[in-house]
Amino acid sequence: MRRILAFLLSVFLIAAALPAAAADDRAAQLDALFAQLKTAAPEEEPALQIAIWHLWFRYEGADTEIPGLLERGNTAMAKDDYAVAEAAFSAVIERDPAYAEGWNRRATVRYLRGDIRGSIADIDQVLAREPRHFGALSGLGLCRIKLRDYAGAIEAYQRALAIDPQMAAARDQIEQLKKLQAGDPI
């Protein structure tokens, strides 16, 4: 989990340094990247995922306080200060509930704090705003595993694979969960 958090933090910091795209341009870029992701070779998938994460992380709304709140939340999360991180991401959501990544960041913190049901509620909000959010779907899979809802976890990972067919972590989780359901040791 630490590697994932470090990766997401580095993508966020890179995204913050890049110029913002216009909303229409951003939507077109995401559509193009998701189309490429469907047919990408395994070696192309990481770069496409990073490009998608960049666009998701980029805050393009009018609220000038949100980038600072996001930075505060990400820094706190990297330091395992989950209470501060959750408060920062909750403030992002309050200020701009349409920003899907605010919900996704808080879902991650809630998972790390053991608030699985709260994490799932936030993931539902992410997916309502960005149904192709493979990161949120992977998180949903982890939540379902914690709840011992293995069929629900498999479904979440299958949905992620429908978006990103090269997602090895989702494929591996499905394989392990099917073994677990069959009573095989994993």
User: What average pLDDT does the segment 64-93 reach?
Assistant: 97
Q: Are 147 and 123 in contact (CB under 8 A)?
A: no
Residue 143 DSSP class: H
The predicted-structure confidence for 113-166, as pLDDT tens digits, reads as follows 999 999 999 999 999 999 999 999 999 999 999 999 999 999 999 999 999 999
Count of alpha carbons within 13 angstroms of residue 88, beta-carbon side: 22
Residue 22: pLDDT band (50, 70, 90) is low
How far is residue 145's CA from residue 165's CA, in Å, rounded to a whole number? 21
> 3-state class of 43 per DSSP?
coil
Which of 186 and 14 is assigned the larger pLDDT? 186
The predicted-structure confidence for 30-42, as pLDDT tens digits, reads as follows 999 999 999 999 9
pTM: 0.85
pLDDT for 24: 79
Q: What fold characterizes domain 2-181?
A: 1.25.40
